[in-house]
Copies of this chain bind each other. A is one copy, B any other.
Amino acid sequence: MAEIAALAGVSKPTVSKVMNGQPGVAAATRERVERVIAERGYVRHSAARALSAGRAGSVNLVVKEIDNAYFSEIIRGVEETLERAGLSMVLTATHDEARRHRRWLARVVEHGTDGAILVLPDEHFAHLGELRRHGVPVALVDDRGESPPDVPSVGATNFAGGFAATEHLLSLGHRRIAMISGPAFKSTRERAAGYRTALQEAGIQPEPLLEKPGGFVAETGHGATRELLRLPDPPTAIFTGNDLQAMGVYRALYEAGLRAPDDVSVVGFDDLPFARLLTPALTTVRQPVREMGALATRMLLRVIAGEKLESARVELATSLIVRESSAPPRP
């Protein structure tokens, strides 16, 4: 209100009158105020709410889980960006459960919000349309690949990341490189495509036996590695879909009396904070998860402010971080 009044060069009561459609404002003044309101991206409805009850002052962040370093990094990036903008972060974990989605939506509608950021929005999230109907601006992080193209969305260059990880292992001399993969998200499929493409460009035919799908958890890395080690011709290197799976690979190697990188090289994906703390420190593809959360937040704030985004879809670059877990194969 004060901001609009200042920008339009009028008093706050005048802004209030214009917003509420009350008489007693000269046509030119009314037009000026309306223009400022339009430029700042306020719509009458939310402005009216702001007048009566105070802007929500908060943005909702919806993640699947909280106690997972990938989501923690995003949460941190979002919180820091909102904090600088003077906004609070309302955080909700859905555990991919439809009823939690519904209850979240009910709370948002009841108590209001300035916007919502959804991370890896899952199949239950048919609510995008409903949020828009309620006038809630939305931004996405790591879209699973099913949302409308005009919704602001931040991801990473997953294909390039998968390619770089595989190319690194090839350059060390590995020829039998396995990949442990994650759920069938867009990002996962792209990582696997990068892996296969790098193999093919090196003249190696990808083998279905060396690709192990599963969940983004350590248990998948553990189970898949046990199976890989039992192959007649086991891989000398394993590229995992995320860092947690790599912890599971370490465990399976340990149980088999093997070590990375002496016996098997391991490359992860994400570069979450724990990756550099592992022994051996994990070679991994860094995706700037925190920055992805921060950028999605900045895009959302611009949409809330009524600005037009140059591009609704942004991918941040991945980069290979070489540490201790990758080395040439035994001769």
Residue of B nearest to A112 (CB): B54
7 nearest A-B pairs in the assembled complex, by CB-CB distance = A254-B279, A66-B76, A57-B111, A67-B72, A247-B277, A91-B91, A67-B76
Contact A90 B92 (CB under 8 A): no
Is A30 among interface residues, defined by CB-CB distance under 8 A? no
Contacts A66-B72, A72-B72, A247-B274; A92 near B83 (Cβ below 8 A):
yes
CA gap between A126 and B53 in the complex, in Å: 29
CA gap between A86 and B60 in the complex, in Å: 15
**Range of interface residues on A (Cβ < 8 Å):** 35 or more
Please, which residues of chain B bring their CB within 8 A of the CB of A58? 90, 111
Is A234 among interface residues, defined by CB-CB distance under 8 A? no
Please, which residues of chain B bring their CB within 8 A of the CB of A68? 72
Interface residues as binary, A174-191 with B (CB distance below 8 Å gives 1, 0 otherwise): 000000000000000000
Secondary structure at the A interface, as helix, strand, loop or mixed, is helix
CA gap between A54 and B107 in the complex, in Å: 12
Contacts A79-B66, A280-B254; A92 near B89 (Cβ below 8 A):
yes
Please, which residues of chain B bring their CB within 8 A of the CB of A107? 57, 86, 88
Number of identical protomers: 2
Is A303 among interface residues, defined by CB-CB distance under 8 A? no
Q: List A residues 76-95 near B (Cβ within 8 Å).
A: 76, 79-80, 83, 86, 88-93
Contacts A53-B54, A254-B279; A90 near B93 (Cβ below 8 A):
no
CA gap between A254 and B53 in the complex, in Å: 59
Q: List A residues 233-258 near B (Cβ within 8 Å).
A: 244, 247-248, 250-251, 253-254
Please, which residues of chain B bring their CB within 8 A of the CB of A251? 277, 279, 281
Please, which residues of chain B bring their CB within 8 A of the CB of A302? none
Residue of B nearest to A75 (CB): B66
Min distance, Cβ A301 to any Cβ of chain B, angstroms: 16
Min distance, Cβ A244 to any Cβ of chain B, angstroms: 8
Contact of A250 among B69, B73, B76, B279 (CB under 8 A): B279
Interface residues as binary, A209-240 with B (CB distance below 8 Å gives 1, 0 otherwise): 00000000010000000000000000000000
Is A100 among interface residues, defined by CB-CB distance under 8 A? yes
Contact A89 B90 (CB under 8 A): yes
Please, which residues of chain B bring their CB within 8 A of the CB of A54? 53, 110-111
Is A132 among interface residues, defined by CB-CB distance under 8 A? no
Contact of A273 among B67, B79, B83, B248 (CB under 8 A): B67
CA gap between A238 and B58 in the complex, in Å: 45
